[in-house]
């Protein structure tokens, strides 16, 4: 994820002026809140949060089966 440095704010600023941080998130898509000059929290619009839905169990199982099939020989050697 590329982060615009203009969307970074300190935790004390976020605490004192949350509406500004919310406006930054609306304008830039995301606002990063720093604690001790280290990125700690991310504020994003709810619509973006919904778009990043977790993988469905069936998808994860399907990928796992493909990996096992592709590298079956290596897994058998490791099992010895």
Distance (Å, whole) CA 80 – CA 45: 50
Sketch the domain layout of the chain as residue ranges: 5-79
> Angle, to 10 degrees, between the axis of helix 72-79 and the axis of helix 57-70?
80
Whole-model pTM: value is 0.58
Pairing type for strands 38-44 and 30-35 reads: antiparallel
pLDDT of the residue at 23: 92
User: What is the model's pLDDT at position 2?
Assistant: 65
Q: State pLDDT tens for residues 16-56.
A: 999 999 999 998 888 999 999 999 999 988 877 765 566 66
User: CATH assignment of 5-79?
Assistant: 3.40.1620.10
């Amino acid at each position: 994820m590329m982060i615009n440095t203009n969307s970074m704010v300190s935790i004390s600023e976020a605490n004192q002026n949350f509406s500004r941080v919310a406006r930054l998130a609306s304008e830039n898509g995301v606002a990063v809140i720093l604690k001790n000059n280290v990125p700690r929290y991310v504020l994003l619009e709810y619509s973006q949060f919904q778009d990043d839905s977790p993988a469905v169990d069936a998808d994860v199982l399907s990928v796992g089966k493909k990996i096992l099939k592709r590298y079956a020989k290596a897994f058998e050697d490791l099992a010895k």
